[in-house]
């Protein structure tokens, strides 16, 4: 059974750590999955070995150089009148909007109107709730399904082509049918996030379960482990590093699906705020929304990595 698997194994990263200062070859970047159908991912930090503090500090500082320079250029170009504020408001205006979003005074709004000032908590919590519930459903369905695909030759033969086909459908292409099934509803939003998170989880789980060495299973049996306990005692722990890689991809893709999910008539959510801002022409609000997506998405990955680290430490040498 051949599967397209994101090449995210941390083992490929070890020993690459000598390219100090070469931002384009940071070992951190190597965890980005190989480009695949419908997969567009921000490079995320890998399960990389720790590096010395000072070097890491310098690396991080270097990573800020280009963004800071771009913002400065952006501000200068705006001040010099090269960029119309209607196309790109200056950084100061965006920063101010960001402040209003987080700490501004919230005003009473009519039903159906999406607020902005002081509404960061409301929108972020709505988006995160969609994200996490869709992701949780993706884990609940994806891990068992992936185990079945990986462990049962028959299940693999039956379902692998279907999974490969479905995973090639971009999340936006799921939107119309989802709207027909669920209407403009919270359910539709969560379903879309679920679909977005599901496939990387299924595929990584199936692949890593199928790769569990036969000798490990034989040893467990020869130690008296019952066949019914094999999945729990051997396959899941042995496949866990691969499953965690799938969870990280699923979490990231789930978050990317949130913006599509909020095309389902929501009045709260970061994406909902951005679509409302587009209608009233508030580009500064839209950019604040984009920045919010970046920050929350990264934070989610950092948290998942921290939580999973102790479970997969053994596979990191």
Partner 1 sequence: MTAAAGAHAIPDVLAVRDLKKSYGDVHVLDGIDLDVAPDEVLAVLGPSGCGKSTLLRLLAGLEPVDAGEIRIGDEEVGGPSPDRPMVAQGATLFPWLSLRGNLEWGPRATGHADPAAAADELLEATALTGFADVRPGQLSGGMRQRAAIAQVLANRPPVLLLDEPFGALDAQTRLRMHEWLRGLLAERPTTVVLVTHDVDEALLLGDRLALLSARPSHVVERIDVPFGAERARSTLSDPGFVALKARVLDLVLSA
Q: How far apart are CA 213 and CA 235, in angstroms?
A: 9
User: Taking CB under 8 A as the rule, does residue 222 contact partner 1?
Assistant: yes
Q: Cβ of residue 314: shortest distance to partner 1, in angstroms?
A: 4
Site residues for partner 1, window 156-215 (CB under 8 A)?
A: 213, 215
User: Taking CB under 8 A as the rule, does residue 317 contact partner 1?
Assistant: yes
User: Taking CB under 8 A as the rule, does residue 228 contact partner 1?
Assistant: no
Question: Which part of the chain contacts partner 1 (CB under 8 A), choosing from 11-19, 37-45, 223-231, 268-276?
Answer: 223-231
Binding-residue pattern over the window 52 to 91 for partner 1, x denoting contact by CB under 8 A: ----------------------------------------
Q: Cβ of residue 236: shortest distance to partner 1, in angstroms?
A: 10
Q: What DSSP letter does each residue of 248-269 carry, written as one string?
A: HHHHHHHHHHHHHHTTTT-SSS
- Scan for tokens 């053994």, then name that residue: 314
Q: How far apart are CA 209 and CA 144, in angstroms?
A: 11
User: Taking CB under 8 A as the rule, does residue 14 contact partner 1?
Assistant: no
Q: N- to C-terminal Cα distance for the chain? A: 28
Is the Cβ of residue 52 or residue 317 nearer to partner 1 in the bound state? 317
Could you tell me how many residues of this chain bind partner 1 (CB under 8 A)? 20
Is the Cβ of residue 67 or residue 317 nearer to partner 1 in the bound state? 317
Among 240, 243, 259, 261, binds partner 1 (CB under 8 A): 240
User: Taking CB under 8 A as the rule, does residue 247 contact partner 1?
Assistant: no
Is the Cβ of residue 85 or residue 213 nearer to partner 1 in the bound state? 213
Site residues for partner 1, window 276-315 (CB under 8 A)?
A: 314-315
Among 110, 223, 280, 306, binds partner 1 (CB under 8 A): 223
Tally Cβ neighbours within 10 Å of residue 187.
13
Q: What DSSP letter does each residue of 69-135 carry, written as one string?
A: HHHHHHHHHHHTTSS-TTTS--HHHHHHHHHHHHHSPP----TTPPP-TT-HHHHHHHHHHHHHHHH
Q: Cβ of residue 161: shortest distance to partner 1, in angstroms?
A: 28
User: If we measure between CA atoms, which residue out of 2, 3, 8, 1 comes closest to residue 244?
Assistant: 8
User: Taking CB under 8 A as the rule, does residue 95 contact partner 1?
Assistant: no
Q: How far apart are CA 258 and CA 192, in angstroms?
A: 8
User: Taking CB under 8 A as the rule, does residue 265 contact partner 1?
Assistant: no
For CA atoms 22, 28, 31, 36, the dihedral sign is negative
User: Taking CB under 8 A as the rule, does residue 251 contact partner 1?
Assistant: no
| Contact between 285 and 131 (Cβ < 8 Å) | no
- Helical packing angle, 91-103 and 53-79, nearest 10°: 110
**CA 17-298-64 angle, 5° bins:** 60
User: Taking CB under 8 A as the rule, does residue 30 contact partner 1?
Assistant: no
User: Taking CB under 8 A as the rule, does residue 224 contact partner 1?
Assistant: yes
Q: How many helices (H) and strands (E) does the chain have?
A: 11, 0
The contact set with partner 1 (CB under 8 A) reads 213, 215-216, 218-226, 229, 234, 237-238, 240, 314-315, 317
């Amino acid at each position: 059974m051949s599967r397209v698997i994101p090449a995210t194994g941390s083992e490929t990263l070890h020993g690459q750590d000598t390219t100090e200062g070469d931002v384009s070859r940071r070992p951190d970047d190597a965890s980005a999955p190989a480009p695949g159908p419908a997969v567009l991912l921000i490079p995320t930090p890998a399960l990389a070995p720790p590096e010395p503090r000072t070097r890491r500090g310098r690396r991080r500082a270097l990573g800020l150089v280009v963004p800071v320079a771009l913002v400065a250029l952006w501000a200068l170009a705006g001040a010099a009148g090269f960029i119309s504020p209607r196309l790109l408001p200056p950084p100061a205006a965006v920063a101010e909007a960001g402040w209003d979003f987080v700490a501004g005074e919230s005003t009473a709004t009519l039903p159906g109107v999406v607020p902005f000032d002081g509404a960061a908590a409301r929108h972020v919590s709505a988006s995160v709730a969609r994200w996490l519930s869709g992701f949780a459903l993706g884990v609940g369905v994806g891990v068992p399904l992936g185990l079945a695909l990986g462990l049962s030759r028959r299940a693999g033969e039956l379902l692998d082509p279907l999974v490969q086909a479905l995973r090639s459908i971009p999340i936006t292409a799921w939107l119309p049918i989802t709207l027909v099934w669920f209407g403009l509803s919270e359910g539709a939003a969560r379903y879309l996030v679920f679909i977005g998170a599901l496939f990387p989880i299924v595929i990584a789980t199936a692949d890593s379960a199928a790769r569990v060495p036969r000798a490990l299973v034989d040893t467990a049996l020869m130690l008296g482990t019952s066949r019914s306990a094999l999945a729990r005692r051997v396959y899941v722990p042995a496949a866990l590093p691969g499953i965690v890689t799938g969870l990280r991809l699923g979490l990231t893709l789930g978050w990317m699906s949130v913006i599509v999910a909020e095309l389902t008539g929501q009045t709260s959510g970061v994406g909902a705020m951005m679509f409302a801002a587009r209608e009233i022409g508030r580009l500064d609000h839209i950019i604040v929304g984009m920045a919010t997506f970046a920050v929350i998405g990264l934070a989610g990955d950092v948290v998942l990595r921290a939580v999973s680290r102790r479970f997969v430490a053994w596979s990191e040498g």
